[in-house]
């Protein structure tokens, strides 16, 4: 039995027979203070309230109340069903592709090589290399490019951390958490920070470095292989990497838009021009 909110005596105000006509379709006992799901068992004579011919109230006792009926299961929309199927397929497919997730996995012997690729796309070497280059660079054009690369790398770290913190998708269960230097949000997997960085750096390098065609091809291949290796190592699901590539590609547009130059940020460049 379910207890309703009646008065101390077990009596509850409920409308007289006239009121249902004012609110057609509404059960009278739900109108004036009775708990939802409680049935008015015994209606007493209506009491006319002074001042209005319609303002009459009745008393009813409800000793037994029924629990509210269970809510019907939510009707899943097409989009929700499609998303759920995509995620299920993603998990299944990513697990199959995680052939280097451990030393004993199918391609476990290739794991050291993929871990080297992991370091090649990691934030620390890229930040360290860029800072080192900035310190050594003697040409204003080189410093401008490196300063913007530093800005791009920091922007990437912040944006990835924000999205990981918002989405909070756990890394695949087959991932061994033996990654090279991580920060707290790196326990989450969406999006892949390596994929965002690889895509962004790839666009950056192709735009700002004069490279022979074979080297340009190599840069693109490196970015793609870094992304694929994330899934093979078991660090990520395919959708983490796919979204990471898209996000990194778009991040470069942000860098281009806010390009730092002696004109747009004179204070930054004044440091070197003294």
Ligand X SMILES: CC(C)=CCC/C(C)=C/CC/C(C)=C/CC/C(C)=C/COP(=O)(O)O
Determine if 167 is a binding residue for ligand X (CB under 6 A): no
Q: How many CB atoms lie within 10 A of CB 231?
A: 27
Site string for ligand X, 108-137 (x = CB under 6 A): --------------xxx--xx--x------
Q: How far is the CB of 101 from ligand X (least distance, A)?
A: 13
How many other CB atoms sit within 10 Å of the CB of residue 103? Answer: 10
Give catalytic residue positions. Answer: 194, 236
Q: How far is CA 81 from CA 76, 78, 84, 95, 169, in A?
A: 6, 5, 5, 21, 19
CB of 214 to ligand X, least distance (A): 27
158 contacts ligand X (rule: CB under 6 A): no
Check: CB of residue 223 under 8 Å from CB of residue 246: no
Nearer to ligand X, 203 or 235 (CB): 235
Residue of 96, 182, 253, 261 interacting with ligand X (CB under 6 A): 182
Read off the tokens for 70. Answer: 């269970």
Write down the least CB distance from residue 130 to ligand X, Å: 8
Residues of this chain, 208-267, that bind ligand X according to CB under 6 A: 230, 235
Contacting range for ligand X; rule: CB under 6 A; set: 64-72, 99-107, 175-183, 259-267:
175-183
Q: What angle do CA 180, 184, 188 make, to 5 degrees?
A: 85
Q: For residue 53, what are its two tokens?
A: 């011919």
Tell me which of 111, 143, 194, 203 binds ligand X, using CB under 6 A: 194
11 near ligand X, judged by CB under 6 A = no
Taking CA 124 as the corner, what is the angle to CA 122 and CA 130, rounded to the nearest 5 degrees? 105
- Find, among 116, 117, 121, 146, the residue nearest to 134 by Cα: 146
Length of the chain: 274
Binding residues (CB under 6 A) for ligand X: these are 122-124, 127-128, 131, 157, 179, 181-183, 186, 192-194, 230, 235
């Amino acid at each position: 039995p379910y207890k309703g909110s009646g008065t101390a005596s077990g009596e509850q105000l409920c409308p007289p027979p006239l009121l249902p006509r004012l609110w057609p379709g509404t059960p009278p006992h739900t109108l004036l203070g009775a708990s939802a799901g409680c049935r008015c068992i015994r209606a007493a004579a209506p009491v006319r309230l002074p001042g209005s011919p319609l303002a009459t109230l009745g008393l009813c006792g409800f000793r037994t109340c029924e629990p509210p009926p269970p809510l019907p299961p939510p009707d899943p929309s097409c989009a929700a069903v499609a998303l759920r199927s995509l995620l299920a397929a993603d998990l299944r497919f990513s697990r199959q592709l995680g052939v280097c997730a451990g030393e004993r996995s199918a391609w476990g012997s290739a794991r050291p090589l993929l871990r080297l690729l992991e370091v090649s796309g990691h934030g620390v070497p890229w930040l360290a290399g860029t800072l080192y280059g900035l310190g050594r660079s003697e040409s204003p054009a080189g410093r401008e490019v490196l300063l913007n690369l530093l800005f791009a790398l920091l922007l990437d770290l912040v944006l990835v951390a924000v999205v990981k913190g918002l989405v909070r998708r756990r890394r695949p269960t087959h991932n061994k958490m033996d990654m090279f230097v991580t920060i707290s949000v790196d326990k989450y997997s969406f999006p892949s920070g390596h994929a965002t960085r690889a895509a962004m750096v790839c666009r950056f390098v192709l735009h700002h470095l004069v490279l022979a065609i074979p080297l340009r091809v190599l840069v693109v291949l490196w970015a793609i292989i870094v992304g694929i290796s994330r899934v093979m190592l078991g660090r990520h699901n395919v959708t983490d990497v796919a979204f990471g590539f898209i996000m990194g590609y778009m991040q470069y547009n942000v860098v281009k838009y806010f390009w730092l130059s002696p004109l747009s940020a004179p204070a930054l460049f004044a440091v070197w021009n003294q």
